């Protein structure tokens, strides 16, 4: 019950006050760069946005961003384009405020938006003006406004603030909507003094969590369906401004961040028919405000004092796999203090097990927080016009060599592998699969980069073409994250590209020594490209590399990532270093480097015996990496 909340922390200013000042904030210099605790990294994935309000991910990893004044943006590999300019009223807190992606987007292209639409008198009057849930269709890289379909309208905008804007599809497949109370009767004094007429009125959509089907109809199970004088769309009521909501992926429960008035911010966990008690209560104040059946906040924090965390609660999400040590914890933001917090949940996942910890400071007015498909945290920074990404700062493996790889082919007269040569490979991307193996295509030397000596200087890798045999299920591209010395990469894994086999080597055709037995793994290599929605790849400064081909160290020009190579089990063999991967980059000799001279090398490995190869060009630099750290 409402009077039993056990924790009172954080501080907030009303979202209405803060967003009314947003135009002035936007005109000032951008806040200092955000800071995150040791062990985490923050990067900017989209910039030059105009007052971004909400973000969502498409199934292919691209990101869609809403802007307060109606812009609908597509972020693809570091490039931002305009999908559409949606007509909105954008004064006060109104605008294009929320977005959700249809679960069947790949086939129907549906996006759901929360916007403020003008009435007959335009945006300057509340007569006919309302907040709406609309659907648009994305085709290719554009959205036609001719596809705009109004699914729900009539959410009042009396004062222009407390508009809500949250959109989330629940585990039941229905669309949940956070609708504000319109601002009427607010700012009257301390807790319990507000006179809003809508939040407790079941014939009004305002001050509610609404639940509708994806076609706008009222789904089964809503608590007030068919009751005279009560709106069937209502799921829960008694809220001031439920600006952001999130479903716990573990329990399916709905968490609501309700923006407070002058004194308190609150987080509620709500179910069908629940009453958040606004306006008679602001969090748990004043004392004795609660009535039987009211739902107490699971967490509340004041706007002032030592326990203050800010004064305008915003983004809501649950931490993904790339917030290592925090996966499944609750994330929320405060617009006014510019901070993002994380808190572990109790065993029942109905409240906090700890006081919230600061995850990001100087976040520049965070208004939306989501967990991306890669498991990282993404948030919209309203004041800076950016979307930023936060993930754990793991470090690449230090027990695996870098390799400089050359394009190679069998020397004239060398015997090819017998037709039908095959083996069974199993790595972390795919279970045991039979592959047909063909002749060598590359040869990789352990390399010294930046003066760091090779760990296994006599173990080279001969690269063979490998393809799944006929009848193998077709590989469906997947998005994975790689971390190496060049940065964090979002990569789409396209297909198997080959097998790297540990080998010995000797210059010339005279024969290589016995194959190495030092425990270096085989690697299955996969073709990759930068994932849609990920930050554009920025080549590092030219690395200085030396191997057995070049007598002196050479500078290489890095072009782009081309392959990820996973340690792989071959015909059931064990993997020595399961967490040590390679990311391979297309490279060429930097300007001023000596011309590469073709050469012949002899190789020997335990799978296919001896070969003599002709090396024709520098091809790749493969460096130690973590995958999905």
265-281 pLDDT, tens digit per residue, is: 999 999 999 999 999 99
Give residue 8's pLDDT: 25
**Cα–Cα distances in Å, from 298 out to 3, 251, 255, 256?**
11, 15, 9, 10
**Which position has the token pair 């760990």?**
455
The pLDDT-based confidence of 67 (bands split at 50, 70, 90) is very high
Q: Percent of the chain scored above 90 by pLDDT?
A: 80
What is the pLDDT, as a whole number, of residue 2? 44
Give the pLDDT mean for 221-228. Answer: 97
Measure the CA–CA gap between 606 and 247, rounded to whole angstroms.
52
| pLDDT one-digit tens code per residue, 445-503 | 999 987 888 999 999 999 999 999 999 999 999 988 888 888 878 899 999 999 999 99
Distances (CA, A) of 626 to 259, 369, 376, 447: 40, 26, 15, 19
Q: How far out from the chain centre does Cα 29 lie?
A: 27
E strand segments, 6-87: 40-46, 52-57, 63-67, 71-76, 79-85
Task: Name the region of 95 (left: φ>0; alpha: ψ -120 to 50; beta: rest).
Answer: left
| Residue 252: how many other CB atoms lie within 10 Å | 11
Apex 143 CA angle, 141 and 145, nearest 5: 160
Region 621-626: mean pLDDT is 94
pLDDT of 18 above 60? no
- The pLDDT confidence band at residue 629, using thresholds 50, 70 and 90, is low
CA distance 246 to 177: 11
The sign of the CA dihedral 592, 594, 598, 599 is negative
Q: Band of the pLDDT at 436, cuts 50, 70, 90? A: very high
Assign 187 a pLDDT band (cuts: 50, 70, 90): confident
Q: How far is CA 594 from CA 381, 553, 597, 616, 619, in A?
A: 47, 11, 9, 15, 15
In this predicted structure, the answer to whether residue 509 has a pLDDT above a threshold of 80 is yes
Q: Is the per-residue pLDDT at 23 higher than 70? A: no
Q: Give 12 or 326, the one with higher predicted confidence.
A: 326
The pLDDT of residue 154: 98
pLDDT of residue 28: 32
pLDDT-based confidence at residue 1 (cuts at 50, 70, 90): very low
Whether 433 has a pLDDT exceeding 70, the answer reads yes
Convert the pLDDT of each residue in 385-425 to its tens digit.
999 999 887 778 888 999 999 999 999 999 999 999 999 99
Residue 32 pLDDT level (bands cut at 50, 70, 90): low
For residue range 350-378, what is the model confidence (pLDDT) as tens digits? 999 999 999 999 999 999 999 998 889 99
Q: Which residues contact 234 (CB under 8 A, 6 or more apart)?
A: 202, 205, 208, 209, 210, 211, 222, 223, 224
pLDDT at 448: 92
Q: In the structure, what pLDDT confidence band is assigned to residue 9 with cuts at 50, 70 and 90?
A: very low
Domains of the chain: 2-392 (2.120.10.30), 402-627 (no CATH)
DSSP states along 188-236: SSSTT----SSTT-TT--TTEEEEE-TTSPPPTT-TTTT-TTS-TTEEE
Q: What's the confidence (pLDDT) of residue 216?
A: 98
pLDDT for 222: 98
Residue 472 confidence (pLDDT)? 95
pLDDT mean over 108-123: 97
Q: Where residue 33 falls among pLDDT bands split at 50, 70, 90?
A: low
Residues 293-333: pLDDT tens digits?
A: 999 999 999 999 999 999 999 999 999 988 878 889 999 99
pLDDT of 175 over the 90 cut:
yes
- Residue 257 Cα to chain centre, angstroms: 20
Q: Which helix (H) or strand (E) holds 433?
A: strand 433-449
pLDDT at 13: 30
Question: What is residue 396's three-state secondary structure?
Answer: coil
Q: What is the overall mean pLDDT for the chain?
A: 91
């Amino acid at each position: 019950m409402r009077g039993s909340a056990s924790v009172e922390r954080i501080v907030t200013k009303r979202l209405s006050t803060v967003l009314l000042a947003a135009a002035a904030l936007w005109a000032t210099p951008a806040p200092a760069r955000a800071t995150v605790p040791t062990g985490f990294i923050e990067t900017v994935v989209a910039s030059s946005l105009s007052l971004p309000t909400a973000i969502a991910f498409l199934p292919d990893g691209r990101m869609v961003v809403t802007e307060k004044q109606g812009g609908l943006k597509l972020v693809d590999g570091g490039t931002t384009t305009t999908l559409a300019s949606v007509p909105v009223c954008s004064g006060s807190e109104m605008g294009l405020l929320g977005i959700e992606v249809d679960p069947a987007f790949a086939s129907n292209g549906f996006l759901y938006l929360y916007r403020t639409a003008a009435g007959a008198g335009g945006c300057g009057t509340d007569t006919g003006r309302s907040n709406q849930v609309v659907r648009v269709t994305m085709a290719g890289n554009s959205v036609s406004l001719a596809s705009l379909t109004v699914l729900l309208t009539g959410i009042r905008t009396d004062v222009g603030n407390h508009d809500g804007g949250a959109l989330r599809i629940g585990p039941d497949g229905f669309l949940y909507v956070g609708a504000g109370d319109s601002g009427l009767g607010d700012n009257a004094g301390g807790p319990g003094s507000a006179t809003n007429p809508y939040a407790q009125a079941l014939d009004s959509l305002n001050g509610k969590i609404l639940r509708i089907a994806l076609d706008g109809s009222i789904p089964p199970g809503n608590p007030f369906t068919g009751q005279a004088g009560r709106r069937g769309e209502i799921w829960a009521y008694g809220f001031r401004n439920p600006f952001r909501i999130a479903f716990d992926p573990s329990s399916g429960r709905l968490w609501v961040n309700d923006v407070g008035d002058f004194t308190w911010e609150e987080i509620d966990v709500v179910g069908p028919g629940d009453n958040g008690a606004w306006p008679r209560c602001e969090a748990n104040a004043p004392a004795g405000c609660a009535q039987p059946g009211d739902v107490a906040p699971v967490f509340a924090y004041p706007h002032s004092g030592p326990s203050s965390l800010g004064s305008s609660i915003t983004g809501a999400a649950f931490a993904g796999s790339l917030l290592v040590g925090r996966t499944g914890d609750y994330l929320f933001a405060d617009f006014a203090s510019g901070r993002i917090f994380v808190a572990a949940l109790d065993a029942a996942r109905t409240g906090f097990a700890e006081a919230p910890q600061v995850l990001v400071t100087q976040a520049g007015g965070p208004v939306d927080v989501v967990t991306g498909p890669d498991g990282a945290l993404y948030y919209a920074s309203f004041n800076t016009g950016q979307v930023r990404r936060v993930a754990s700062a793991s470090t690449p493996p230090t027990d695996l060599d870098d390799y400089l790889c050359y394009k190679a082919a069998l020397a004239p007269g060398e015997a090819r592998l017998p037709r039908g040569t095959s083996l069974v490979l199993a790595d972390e991307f795919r279970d045991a699969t039979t592959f047909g193996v063909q002749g060598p295509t590359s040869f990789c030397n352990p390399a010294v980069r930046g003066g760091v000596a090779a760990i296994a200087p006599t173990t080279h890798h001969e690269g063979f073409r490998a393809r799944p045999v006929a009848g193998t299920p077709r590989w469906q591209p997947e998005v994975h994250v790689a971390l190496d010395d060049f940065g964090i990469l979002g990569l789409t894994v396209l297909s198997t590209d080959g097998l790297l086999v540990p080998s010995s080597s000797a210059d010339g055709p005279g024969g290589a020594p016995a194959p190495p037995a030092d425990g270096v793994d085989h690697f299955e290599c996969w073709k990759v490209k930068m994932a849609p929605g990920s930050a554009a790849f920025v080549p590092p400064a030219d690395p200085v590399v030396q191997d057995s081909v070049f007598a002196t160290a050479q500078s290489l020009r890095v072009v782009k990532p081309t392959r990820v190579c996973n340690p792989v089990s071959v015909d059931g063999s064990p993997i020595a270093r399961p967490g040590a991967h390679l990311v391979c980059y297309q490279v060429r000799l930097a300007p001023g480097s000596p011309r590469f001279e073709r050469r012949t090398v002899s190789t020997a490995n335990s799978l296919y015996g001896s070969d003599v190869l002709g090396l024709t060009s520098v091809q790749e630099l493969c460096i130690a990496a973590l995958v999905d750290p």
